[in-house]
Amino acid sequence: MNCADFKSLEILKFERFEQEETRLFKIFGADDQFCGWEVRAGGFVLHWNEFTGDAWFVGWNENK
């Protein structure tokens, strides 16, 4: 399943694989359900704003 709501995404697993001239980034997470996506690129930037013990949260707001 593809991730739909990146503003409330919890990143559970992030993997990087070398492939000839590019890299494959596999990201598994959860918004309202489990989801995953792949990025094939020389590199990319992923910004997140909160780390709570064992997971990264994108756009996470404690006051929800």
Q: Is 62 within the bounds of a domain?
A: no
Per-residue pLDDT of the chain (64 residues; tens, 9 = 90+): 566 666 677 788 888 899 888 999 898 888 778 888 888 988 777 766 666 666 655 555 555 4
In the chain, the number of structural domains is: 1
Whether 13 maps to a domain, the answer reads yes
Query: What is the structure's pLDDT at 52?
Result: 62
Listed in sequence order, the residues at least 6 apart from 57 whose beta carbon sits closer than 8 Å to its beta carbon are: 8, 9, 10, 11, 48, 49, 50, 51
Could you list the residue range(s) of the whole structural domain that residue 13 is in? 6-57
What is the reported pLDDT for 21? 85
